[in-house]
């Protein structure tokens, strides 16, 4: 076993012991990849978005001399050629629509109409393939046409190619730099699947008043798919948690009554379904989830990693500690607007308050954005090593 392979095993153990609420030798520390990295290179965002190999080279140069355990995020969430190939309307990327250093934008619409609920609920996968894809992809406007067939070939090929490149990069970083991935696979709350990409924010909020039974039925229909999607995208791995970016469940987007009735039951069902298969959920609680902590505590012990963004950390500790691993401690805003000294103080405080008994992973509380400062990120991981020894 090479030194790097030993280092990987050491870091993997450190991370997974914390996920199990145990006390490892040190507090595991997470390096947050994000668009912020690009501004410290001579590359443009467009190049990084489009050229996966170049993006991976930049990541390798960025991380190879740093001491951290786990890596989270990426320089880009999406590979634009895949979207270009099918004429996908969901996103606009730098290069075609924006100048080459602009970030991507999501174009939210009611891609699923209110009258589509019954057909979607009856057979979700078929509805997505035959109705949704032609609506979101200009090249599929005439299903069965030359353009549509060619576009489908391109889209599927791009999907497989991009996934393969990401998988190989992960293997390389593990082998050559001893770095552990924070997650494997992805899932969502069914309410977010429905509200983000199908009905849209306006659509689903109106539905809560006009057709609440349809919302419930659709969310219930999505549950088994979000369990299956999590396991398929994780390639069956159960050693690392499944990423679940949670959107419309953050307080106070929904009233407590709506949250308890429409958001929580099916998210809980997805988490419990994954847990029954041995897969822990990376409960990426962007925003504030403080009012819901007692409900979250109903989940099976250790079935989630709870990520603290704007949630009250002390209350999270009081209610969840010992039952679920806590993750976070450093606000993303501090990484942008703070100083290295302030970041170091924050890390020390987070470790003292949240990590003294184990079951804690030191990380940024959310997605680190393009305006974060490198000196603050470096201060975060250096301070974690300085203060994070048990």
Partner 1 sequence: MADNKIKSFIPEAGTCVPWKIKKEEFGKLAGNEEIVKNSWEMLDALAYAFIWFWVQR
Give the residues lining the site for partner 1 (CB under 8 A): 88, 90, 106, 122-123, 125-126, 128-129, 132-133, 136, 155-156, 159-160, 186-188, 193, 196-198, 224-229, 231-233
Name the minimum Å distance from CB 139 to partner 1: 13
Cα separation, 231 vs 186, in Å, equals 8
Give the start-end residues of each E strand in 146-256.
180-181, 242-246
Name the minimum Å distance from CB 309 to partner 1: 19
Name the minimum Å distance from CB 315 to partner 1: 30
Name the minimum Å distance from CB 187 to partner 1: 7
Q: Which residues of 59-98 are buried (b: 16+ CB within 10 A; e: fewer)?
A: beebbeeeebbbbbbbbbebbbbbbbbbbbebebbbbeee
Based on CB atoms, which residue is closest to partner 1, 131 or 349?
131
Name the minimum Å distance from CB 225 to partner 1: 5
Q: CB-based contacts of 65: which residues, under 8 Å, 6+ apart?
A: none
Name the minimum Å distance from CB 125 to partner 1: 5
Measured CA to CA in angstroms, residue 272 lies from 234, 248, 265 at distances of 17, 20, 10
Based on CB atoms, which residue is closest to partner 1, 93 or 229?
229
Based on CB atoms, which residue is closest to partner 1, 102 or 186?
186
| C-beta atoms surrounding 289 within 10 Å | 25
Based on CB atoms, which residue is closest to partner 1, 32 or 190?
190
Are the C-beta atoms of 284 and 246 separated by less than 8 Å?
A: yes
Cα separation, 221 vs 197, in Å, equals 16
Based on CB atoms, which residue is closest to partner 1, 81 or 358?
81
Are the C-beta atoms of 259 and 219 separated by less than 8 Å?
A: no
Name the minimum Å distance from CB 311 to partner 1: 23
Q: What is the DSSP string of 9-39?
A: HHHHHHHHHHHTT---SB--BEEE-SGGGGG
Q: Which residues of 292-315 are buried (b: 16+ CB within 10 A; e: fewer)?
A: bbebbeebeebbbbbbbbbbebee
Based on CB atoms, which residue is closest to partner 1, 231 or 305?
231
Task: Give residue 157's region: left, alpha or beta (phi > 0; psi -120 to 50).
Answer: alpha
Name the minimum Å distance from CB 136 to partner 1: 6
Based on CB atoms, which residue is closest to partner 1, 242 or 330?
242
Based on CB atoms, which residue is closest to partner 1, 283 or 387?
283
């Amino acid at each position: 076993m090479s030194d790097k392979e030993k280092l990987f095993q050491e870091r993997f153990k450190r991370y997974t012991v914390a996920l199990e609420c145990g006390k490892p030798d040190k507090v595991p520390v997470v390096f947050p990849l994000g668009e912020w990295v690009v501004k410290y290179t001579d590359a443009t965002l467009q190049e990084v978005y489009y050229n996966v190999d170049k993006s991976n080279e930049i990541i390798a140069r960025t991380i190879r001399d740093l001491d951290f355990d786990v890596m989270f995020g990426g320089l880009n969430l999406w590979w634009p050629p895949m979207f270009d190939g099918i004429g996908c309307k969901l996103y606009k990327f730098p290069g075609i629509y924006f100048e080459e250093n602009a970030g991507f934008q999501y174009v939210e619409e009611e891609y699923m109409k209110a009258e589509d609920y019954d057909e979607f609920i009856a057979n979700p996968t078929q509805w997505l393939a035959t109705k949704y894809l032609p609506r979101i992809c200009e090249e599929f406007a005439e299903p069965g046409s030359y353009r549509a067939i060619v576009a489908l070939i391109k889209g599927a090929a791009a999907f497989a190619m991009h996934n393969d490149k990401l998988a190989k990069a992960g293997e390389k970083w593990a082998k050559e730099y001893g770095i552990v991935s924070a997650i494997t696979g992805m899932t969502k709350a069914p309410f977010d699947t429905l509200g983000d990409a199908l009905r849209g924010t306006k659509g689903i909020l109106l539905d809560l008043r006009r057709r609440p039974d349809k919302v419930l039925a659709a969310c219930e229909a999505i549950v088994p798919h979000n369990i299956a999607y999590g396991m398929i995208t994780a390639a069956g791995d159960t050693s690392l948690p499944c990423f679940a970016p949670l959107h419309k469940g953050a307080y106070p987007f929904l009233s407590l009554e709506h949250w308890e009735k429409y958001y929580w039951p099916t998210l809980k069902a997805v988490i419990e379904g994954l847990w029954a298969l041995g897969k822990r959920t990376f409960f990426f609680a962007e925003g504030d989830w403080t009012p819901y902590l007692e409900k979250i505590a109903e989940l099976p012990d250790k079935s989630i990693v709870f990520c603290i963004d704007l949630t009250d950390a002390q209350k999270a500790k009081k209610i969840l500690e010992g039952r679920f691993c806590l993750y976070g401690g450093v606000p993303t805003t501090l990484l942008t607007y703070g100083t290295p000294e302030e970041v170091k103080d924050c890390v020390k405080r987070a470790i003292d308050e949240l990590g003294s008994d184990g079951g804690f992973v030191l990380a940024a509380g959310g997605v680190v954005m393009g305006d974060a400062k490198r000196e603050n990120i470096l201060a975060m991981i250096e301070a974690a090593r300085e203060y994070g020894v048990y």
